[in-house]
Chain A
Amino acid sequence: MIRLHNYTLSGSCYKVRLLLGFLEIQHELVAVDFFPGQEHKSVEFSAINPLQQIPVLDDGNLRLRDAQAILAYLARRYDTGRTWLPDDPARFGQVMMWLGFAGTELMAASAARLHDAFGFDLDIDRARSDAHAAFAVLDDHLAERQILGQTWLVGDTPTIADVACFPYVALSGDGGIGQEHYPNLRIWQKAFRRLPRFDAVSGVPEFV
């Protein structure tokens, strides 16, 4: 049985839960008391992930950390239709490019949310302006995609690139980051929320 070391309000864990849902993969959630318990900093959890971060996924003897790596693994291993992580080299490369973006530049939106919603001590102005810069990159890309009549970040079906980018965009209001300036990003999020088996979370409503 697949086990996800999970905290419900974590956007990074949400990435993984979304794909588990889309691919209808049976799994077990192992609750990590990230806040206020700081369980990810415990000695026990450090043995699970020395980086002291969630999510972590166990599938048999395989243990993976990093949401993007987990998404890539799950798609390769369980997506029999091979659409969520395409084989075509160009599309595969584009998906990896947006996964990298989701794990770095876009994490500024996560930082802003950790500050506002969980009281983390960090440079909030910097986090918000970096998040806006990342959102503009995404909105510019989606504007071009929408001119071409396309909905998704890569190709003509949703991929793990969309899954990896969605949570911290959708949760940005929790970090005081408004989306009034990103019409293309808003249209993409609505399309994502309308996908079959989309899983809502606190701050990202089910109805769209």
Chain B
Amino acid sequence: MGAALALDTTQATALALSAHIPPGDVHPAILNGFELAVWRDSAGQLNLWEDRCPHRGMRLSFGFVRQDRLTCLYHGWEFGSDSGCKRIPAHPDLEPPKTLCAKPFAVAERFGMVVLNGAPHDDGTWYGVRTIFVPRPLQDVAIPDISETPWRTDGPFMLGTIDTHQVAVALHATSDGHSAIHVTTTHPDMDKRLSLARALVDHRQAMTQETT
């Protein structure tokens, strides 16, 4: 399934909120049916790989992180942040050949989101608000009405304003006709972020009802 699909690596695409990938965690993300594993080592370094172990194809997002390595849950192969296999528990004395590696993709963080093919940038402090998933193809997704000013486009992002603070929205197609809507903000007020998150639940509700 995943292997037959190709990933469009020419475009920058936001895949998750930075806040949803804490240090030492691995999580799945799906872009146009292509399965990805997003993980941070314990020092916070971000990695984006195809979600398939080169050994027997197990999803790497089911695995776990220790220090700077991602371990596959199935037979315990350990991969370093250069994506190379560092250790095979069944052959502890073997130095794994360089050809054994996970498939990495370029990744950077922007506006508090994890971005495939993104350009690194210092944006100051952004807070995660919410990722919602709606049962609609990308072209039918409505942008949530949460900005006080007209949206301005910046690469894969739409930037708006709330109380003189910034809000960012990005979309991506996941699988089976679903799409993800990611929202972050520079708004320092927790209650404001809570009410934004609630507005997004309403938005998902509306988009789901109109579909069914």
> Could you list which residues of chain A lie within 8 angstroms of chain B, going by C-beta atoms?
140, 143-144, 146-149, 179-181, 183-184, 186-187, 190, 205, 207-208
Contact = CB atoms under 8 A, between A and B. Distances in A.
Nearest to B16: A183
Interface of B: 16-17, 19-20, 22, 25, 27-30, 62, 64, 71, 73, 128-131, 133, 174-175, 178, 190, 193-194, 197-198, 201
B129 A147 contact: yes
Contacts of A146: 19, 128
Contacts of B17: 183
Given A143-B130, A180-B28, A208-B64, A187 B178 contact: no
Contact of A148 (B28, B30, B128, B194): B194
A205 B61 CA distance: 13
A184 B29 CA distance: 13
A149 B175 CA distance: 30
Nearest to B178: A181
Contact of A187 (B20, B71, B130, B174): B20
A207 B25 contact: no
Nearest to A207: B64
A149 B128 CA distance: 11
Contacts of B131: 183
Contact of A140 (B16, B27, B193, B201): B201
Given A183-B27, A207-B64, A147 B197 contact: yes
Given A146-B19, A148-B190, A187-B20, 18 more contacts: A140-B201, A143-B130, A144-B194, A144-B197, A146-B128, A148-B194, A149-B190, A180-B29, A180-B175, A181-B174, A181-B178, A183-B16, A183-B17, A183-B131, A205-B73, A207-B64, A207-B73, A208-B64
Nearest to B25: A190
Contacts of B197: 143-144, 147
- Of A149, A179, A187, chain B has the most CB atoms within 10 Å of the CB of A187
A147 B193 contact: yes
17 contacts: A143-B130, A146-B19, A147-B190, A147-B193, A147-B194, A148-B190, A148-B194, A179-B28, A180-B29, A180-B30, A180-B175, A183-B17, A183-B20, A183-B131, A187-B25, A205-B62, A205-B73
Nearest to A208: B64
A132 to B, nearest CB: 10
A141 to B, nearest CB: 10
Q: Which of B27, B175, B178, B193 has the most CB of A within 10 A?
A: B27
Contacts of A190: 25
A72 B178 CA distance: 39
A107 to B, nearest CB: 23
Contacts of A144: 194, 197-198
Contacts of B133: 181
Contacts of B130: 143
Question: For A140, A143, A146, A179, which residue has the most chain B Cβ atoms within 10 angstroms?
Answer: A143
Nearest to A184: B20
A125 to B, nearest CB: 14
Contacts of B25: 187, 190
